[in-house]
Amino acid sequence: MLPHGPRGLFLKTVVFLLCCLSTSKAWACPYTVRDVGYSSWNRGTYTAYLFTKDDSPESRRLAESFRALSHDIFADANVKAAVVPPEKRDDHKAAPYLIDLGIDAFPAIILVSPDDRALKLCGSEAGGFSEKELRSKLSTVVSSPAREELEMHCIREWCIALLVSGSSDKANTAAEGQIDAANKEVAGTTTATGRVMRNGAHRITVSAEDPKEQVLLWSLQLDRPSAKPRVVILYGRGQQIGPVLEGDGITKANLVMVYEALGRNCSCTADPSLWSGPSIPMPWSEVRRMELRETYGFDPDSPRFRSAVAAYVPGAAKSSDFVRGIIGYSEGYVEYTEPPDAPTVAMPTVEPQPAAVVVKPRKTSTLERNTGYTVFYVIGGMTLLVAVAGSILAVWRMRVS
């Protein structure tokens, strides 16, 4: 219990100042949960494995085609590839997936998610694939109509509402209405961090039985048909936030809560579980990176951004992608190389062709200006508090003397 009178007031002021100092960390990070979703190190990595049949010339040609096509198709995506020869098949770390999927004929291609789930892409028919057919099959890992639409809208729109339709047309229509109502509710509002939501979520509707969206739905564990519609909110580079909303759980109130969570500060004002949602396999080209920089005035792959959020995002500073991104960062072309595991075959190295890059004069973003104002007000406010505390101390000394 603090004493009453001038001395108690002084001690209370000191306690208040210490609280201000301890919470200043929350003011230090100018980025939001939504901003962090655009970073590359915050995404899980998928792995496509080719299990070859034998050491025949046909198997070697298939392996070489698989390596070359994977290097081309997965270059800008959170997907890597590896070839597993027959002599290493039984002891390979991916061997248990073959049992789970019931695969006993080769060649076979499987996709493994960051949370250790596996999907069979193709079985022994892969041995008869032409290069064109193999390219088409591998392209489905990172591309589909829904993901192409998502990539087009993930920067300009606040987030993406992926609606997986159910068997009831009435329930599907009701879910669409709730999404539209939530979008109308938040349009033009300002978040706690001062960000304006010009709109809500861009709605994308898919069927759980659409073969073109098999990989997308599998990555979000939505590939099983359901009588009820389901909605998942995606942000940044295709990362899920919040739970899957299903049936009667798809309400305007629930959707608005998820929208608003994206606008929270990336410091202690946000729940760390917001970063734990799965990420879909999707490319992120240099065109998108430049669009993001021009739209919002920051690059989430820059050392400045990564260092700013490292203290707030759980495990960010320990991530190998995080460290590699700081060391290998460049303003133009970015080459991402995933070190191969010991049992796998390394991907061939392709030297990037030089390209002309036009560098525009950099303008100070609104985010940076607001950050400067925040620092100014914080320092000014704490200076005022110290002055008040000093005055109280002087009065107290005069009374006790």
Q: What is the mean pLDDT of residues 330-353?
A: 38
- Decide: 11 and 1 in contact? Cβ < 8 Å: no
pLDDT in tens, 354-366: 444 343 444 444 4
Q: What is the mean pLDDT of residues 320-333?
A: 40
pLDDT band at residue 375 under the 50/70/90 scheme: very low
pLDDT band at residue 384 under the 50/70/90 scheme: low
131 or 84, which is more confident: 84
277 alpha carbon, distance to own chain's centre: 8
313 or 334, which is more confident: 313
On the question of pLDDT at 383 being above 60, the answer is yes
Mean residue pLDDT across the chain? 79
Q: What is the mean pLDDT of residues 109-128?
A: 91
Contacts within 8 Å (CB) and 24+ apart, 345-351:
345/63, 345/67, 345/82, 345/83, 345/85, 347/67, 347/70, 347/71, 347/80, 347/81, 348/67, 348/68, 348/71, 350/71
pLDDT band at residue 30 under the 50/70/90 scheme: confident
pLDDT in tens, 218-277: 999 999 989 999 999 999 999 999 999 999 999 999 999 999 999 988 665 556 666 678
Q: What is the mean pLDDT of residues 305-317?
A: 67
Asked whether this chain's domains 46-143 and 146-282 adopt the same fold, the reply is yes
Highest mean pLDDT among 7-16, 28-37, 79-88, 389-398: 79-88
pLDDT band at residue 127 under the 50/70/90 scheme: confident
CATH 1.10.3470 fits 146-282, yes or no: no
On the question of pLDDT at 373 being above 80, the answer is no
Highest mean pLDDT among 38-47, 98-107, 368-377: 98-107
On the question of pLDDT at 112 being above 70, the answer is yes
Q: What is the mean pLDDT of residues 145-155?
A: 96
- Decide: 39 and 70 in contact? Cβ < 8 Å: no
Two structure tokens written together for 354: 């030089």
| Nearest C-alpha neighbor of 263 from the set 314, 183, 200, 197 | 197
The CATH class for the domain spanning 46-143 reads alpha beta
**Burial (CB count <10 Å: 0-12, 13-18, 19+), residue 18:** exposed
C-alpha distances in Å from residue 293, one per residue of 30, 76, 305, 363, 377: 15, 17, 12, 11, 27
Domain boundaries in the chain? 5-29+365-400, 46-143, 146-282
Q: What is the dihedral of CA 10, 16, 20, 22, to 10 degrees?
A: 110
Separation of alpha carbons 337 and 12, rounded Å: 55
19 or 334, which is more confident: 19
154 or 330, which is more confident: 154
**Burial (CB count <10 Å: 0-12, 13-18, 19+), residue 314:** exposed
- Decide: 185 and 256 in contact? Cβ < 8 Å: yes
- Decide: 277 and 204 in contact? Cβ < 8 Å: no
The whole-number pLDDT of residue 400 equals 62
On the question of pLDDT at 9 being above 70, the answer is no
Consecutive H or E run containing 84: strand 79-84
Residue 236 falls in which region: left (phi positive, over 0), alpha (psi -120 to 50) or beta: left
Two structure tokens written together for 164: 């997986």
Going 216 to 221 to 224 to 225, the CA torsion angle's sign is negative
Separation of alpha carbons 151 and 219, rounded Å: 16
The whole-number pLDDT of residue 10 equals 45
Percent of the chain with pLDDT over 90: 52
Consecutive H or E run containing 64: helix 57-73
pLDDT in tens, 59-73: 999 999 999 999 999
The whole-number pLDDT of residue 221 equals 95
